[in-house]
Amino acid sequence: MTRAARIDHTTKETTITVEVDLDGTGTTDIATGVPFFDHMLDQLGRHGRLDLTVHADGDTEIDDHHTVEDVGIALGQALAEAWGDRAGVERFGDATVPIDECLTRTAVDLAGRPYLVWDVPVALDVIGTFETSLVKHFFESVIANSRMTLHVTLLEGGNTHHVFESVFKSFAVALRRAVAVTAPGTAVPSTKGSLQ
Protein backbone atom coordinates (compact mmCIF):
# COMPACT_ATOMS: atom_id res chain seq x y z
CA MET A 1 0.00 0.00 0.00
CA THR A 2 1.38 3.39 -1.00
CA ARG A 3 1.34 6.01 1.73
CA ALA A 4 1.91 9.05 -0.43
CA ALA A 5 -0.03 12.13 -1.46
CA ARG A 6 0.16 15.24 -3.58
CA ILE A 7 -1.68 18.47 -2.79
CA ASP A 8 -1.94 21.47 -5.12
CA HIS A 9 -3.09 24.58 -3.26
CA THR A 10 -3.72 27.78 -5.21
CA THR A 11 -5.00 31.14 -4.04
CA LYS A 12 -4.57 34.73 -5.23
CA GLU A 13 -1.57 34.92 -2.89
CA THR A 14 0.23 31.61 -3.41
CA THR A 15 0.62 28.59 -5.66
CA ILE A 16 1.78 25.57 -3.65
CA THR A 17 2.57 21.96 -4.52
CA VAL A 18 3.40 19.49 -1.75
CA GLU A 19 4.24 15.83 -2.28
CA VAL A 20 4.91 13.49 0.61
CA ASP A 21 5.81 9.81 0.84
CA LEU A 22 5.74 8.50 4.41
CA ASP A 23 7.78 5.45 3.42
CA GLY A 24 10.53 7.36 1.64
CA THR A 25 14.20 7.73 2.42
CA GLY A 26 14.42 11.42 3.33
CA THR A 27 14.83 12.77 -0.19
CA THR A 28 13.81 16.43 -0.36
CA ASP A 29 13.13 18.99 -3.08
CA ILE A 30 12.29 22.28 -1.37
CA ALA A 31 11.85 25.70 -3.01
CA THR A 32 9.49 28.15 -1.32
CA GLY A 33 11.26 31.44 -1.96
CA VAL A 34 11.88 31.71 1.81
CA PRO A 35 15.44 30.45 2.42
CA PHE A 36 15.27 29.90 6.19
CA PHE A 37 11.94 28.08 5.82
CA ASP A 38 13.44 25.90 3.06
CA HIS A 39 16.23 24.95 5.46
CA MET A 40 13.71 23.92 8.13
CA LEU A 41 11.54 21.92 5.72
CA ASP A 42 14.65 20.10 4.54
CA GLN A 43 15.26 19.05 8.17
CA LEU A 44 11.70 17.73 8.35
CA GLY A 45 12.07 15.52 5.30
CA ARG A 46 15.55 14.24 6.03
CA HIS A 47 15.08 13.46 9.74
CA GLY A 48 11.50 12.28 9.29
CA ARG A 49 12.84 9.94 6.59
CA LEU A 50 9.92 10.91 4.39
CA ASP A 51 10.29 12.03 0.81
CA LEU A 52 9.16 15.62 0.69
CA THR A 53 8.68 17.99 -2.23
CA VAL A 54 7.52 21.54 -1.54
CA HIS A 55 7.34 24.11 -4.33
CA ALA A 56 5.81 27.50 -3.60
CA ASP A 57 5.36 30.72 -5.50
CA GLY A 58 4.01 33.31 -3.09
CA ASP A 59 3.72 37.03 -2.54
CA THR A 60 7.00 37.24 -0.65
CA GLU A 61 7.43 40.80 -1.91
CA ILE A 62 4.85 41.64 0.79
CA ASP A 63 6.19 39.25 3.43
CA ASP A 64 6.56 35.51 4.06
CA HIS A 65 3.29 35.02 5.94
CA HIS A 66 1.04 33.70 3.16
CA THR A 67 3.70 31.35 1.81
CA VAL A 68 4.50 29.82 5.20
CA GLU A 69 0.82 29.51 6.14
CA ASP A 70 -0.26 27.95 2.84
CA VAL A 71 2.64 25.48 2.82
CA GLY A 72 1.48 24.44 6.30
CA ILE A 73 -2.08 23.98 5.04
CA ALA A 74 -0.97 21.89 2.04
CA LEU A 75 1.51 19.83 4.08
CA GLY A 76 -1.15 19.07 6.69
CA GLN A 77 -3.59 17.97 3.98
CA ALA A 78 -0.92 15.81 2.31
CA LEU A 79 -0.01 14.09 5.59
CA ALA A 80 -3.66 13.35 6.37
CA GLU A 81 -4.21 11.88 2.90
CA ALA A 82 -0.99 9.85 3.02
CA TRP A 83 -1.66 8.12 6.33
CA GLY A 84 -5.30 7.37 5.48
CA ASP A 85 -7.21 5.56 8.25
CA ARG A 86 -3.93 4.92 10.15
CA ALA A 87 -4.57 1.19 10.56
CA GLY A 88 -1.52 -0.59 11.96
CA VAL A 89 0.46 2.57 12.72
CA GLU A 90 2.12 3.30 16.03
CA ARG A 91 -0.08 6.44 16.37
CA PHE A 92 2.03 8.04 19.13
CA GLY A 93 5.56 9.32 18.69
CA ASP A 94 7.92 11.40 20.74
CA ALA A 95 11.49 12.64 20.46
CA THR A 96 13.91 14.77 22.42
CA VAL A 97 16.52 16.28 20.12
CA PRO A 98 19.57 18.41 20.94
CA ILE A 99 21.24 20.89 18.62
CA ASP A 100 24.31 22.12 20.44
CA GLU A 101 23.03 24.17 23.40
CA CYS A 102 19.34 23.72 22.49
CA LEU A 103 17.07 20.83 23.42
CA THR A 104 13.47 20.27 22.26
CA ARG A 105 10.94 17.63 23.28
CA THR A 106 8.10 16.87 20.85
CA ALA A 107 5.16 14.48 21.18
CA VAL A 108 2.72 13.55 18.39
CA ASP A 109 -0.65 11.79 18.45
CA LEU A 110 -2.37 10.98 15.15
CA ALA A 111 -5.64 11.12 17.05
CA GLY A 112 -7.73 12.98 14.51
CA ARG A 113 -8.12 15.81 17.02
CA PRO A 114 -6.14 18.95 16.12
CA TYR A 115 -4.44 20.47 19.14
CA LEU A 116 -1.17 22.36 19.54
CA VAL A 117 0.71 23.03 22.75
CA TRP A 118 3.63 25.35 21.98
CA ASP A 119 6.22 26.31 24.60
CA VAL A 120 9.10 27.65 22.51
CA PRO A 121 10.36 31.04 23.69
CA VAL A 122 12.99 32.60 21.44
CA ALA A 123 15.31 35.58 21.79
CA LEU A 124 14.94 36.99 18.26
CA ASP A 125 11.88 38.25 16.40
CA VAL A 126 13.66 37.98 13.03
CA ILE A 127 16.30 35.66 11.56
CA GLY A 128 17.62 37.42 8.46
CA THR A 129 14.30 38.62 7.04
CA PHE A 130 12.26 35.69 8.43
CA GLU A 131 9.79 36.52 11.22
CA THR A 132 10.24 33.86 13.88
CA SER A 133 6.55 34.00 14.92
CA LEU A 134 5.77 32.30 11.59
CA VAL A 135 7.19 29.01 12.86
CA LYS A 136 4.35 28.59 15.37
CA HIS A 137 1.85 29.66 12.72
CA PHE A 138 3.24 27.06 10.32
CA PHE A 139 2.67 24.33 12.89
CA GLU A 140 -0.84 25.66 13.62
CA SER A 141 -1.63 25.28 9.91
CA VAL A 142 -0.14 21.77 9.72
CA ILE A 143 -2.04 20.64 12.82
CA ALA A 144 -5.41 22.10 11.75
CA ASN A 145 -5.21 20.34 8.39
CA SER A 146 -3.66 17.02 9.40
CA ARG A 147 -5.79 16.75 12.56
CA MET A 148 -2.93 15.62 14.77
CA THR A 149 -2.14 16.59 18.34
CA LEU A 150 1.31 18.12 18.82
CA HIS A 151 3.16 19.22 21.94
CA VAL A 152 6.45 21.09 21.45
CA THR A 153 8.54 22.15 24.46
CA LEU A 154 11.90 23.87 24.35
CA LEU A 155 13.81 22.44 27.29
CA GLU A 156 17.04 24.38 26.75
CA GLY A 157 17.30 27.49 24.59
CA GLY A 158 20.02 29.59 23.08
CA ASN A 159 20.74 30.62 19.51
CA THR A 160 17.37 31.12 17.78
CA HIS A 161 18.47 29.32 14.61
CA HIS A 162 19.48 26.32 16.73
CA VAL A 163 16.17 26.47 18.61
CA PHE A 164 14.17 26.06 15.40
CA GLU A 165 16.49 23.39 14.00
CA SER A 166 15.93 21.46 17.20
CA VAL A 167 12.16 21.97 16.90
CA PHE A 168 11.94 20.77 13.29
CA LYS A 169 14.26 17.80 13.83
CA SER A 170 12.41 16.78 16.98
CA PHE A 171 9.07 17.01 15.19
CA ALA A 172 10.46 15.02 12.27
CA VAL A 173 11.64 12.15 14.46
CA ALA A 174 8.43 12.10 16.53
CA LEU A 175 6.32 12.06 13.36
CA ARG A 176 8.42 9.27 11.85
CA ARG A 177 7.80 7.17 14.97
CA ALA A 178 4.06 7.92 15.01
CA VAL A 179 3.46 6.97 11.36
CA ALA A 180 5.58 3.80 11.55
CA VAL A 181 3.59 0.70 10.64
CA THR A 182 4.31 -1.56 13.60
CA ALA A 183 1.32 -3.88 13.36
CA PRO A 184 0.48 -4.42 9.66
CA GLY A 185 -2.97 -5.79 8.93
CA THR A 186 -4.36 -4.77 12.31
CA ALA A 187 -7.09 -2.32 13.21
CA VAL A 188 -6.79 1.37 13.83
CA PRO A 189 -5.00 1.95 17.16
CA SER A 190 -7.99 3.27 19.10
CA THR A 191 -10.55 1.78 21.47
CA LYS A 192 -13.15 3.74 19.47
CA GLY A 193 -12.34 1.77 16.33
CA SER A 194 -11.47 4.89 14.36
CA LEU A 195 -9.33 8.01 14.50
CA GLN A 196 -11.39 11.00 13.43
This prediction has a pTM of 0.93
Condensed to tens digits (0 to 9), the pLDDT of residues 164-192 reads 999 999 999 999 999 999 876 666 555 55
Residue closest to 93 by CA, chosen among 29, 28, 172: 172
Rounded CA separation 101/99 (Å): 6
pLDDT score for 21: 98
Domains present along the chain, CATH in parentheses: 4-179 (3.30.230.40)
Mean pLDDT of the chain, nearest integer: 94
Condensed to tens digits (0 to 9), the pLDDT of residues 4-43 reads 999 999 999 999 999 999 999 999 999 999 999 999 999 9
Backbone angles phi, psi at 84, to 5 degrees: 55, -130
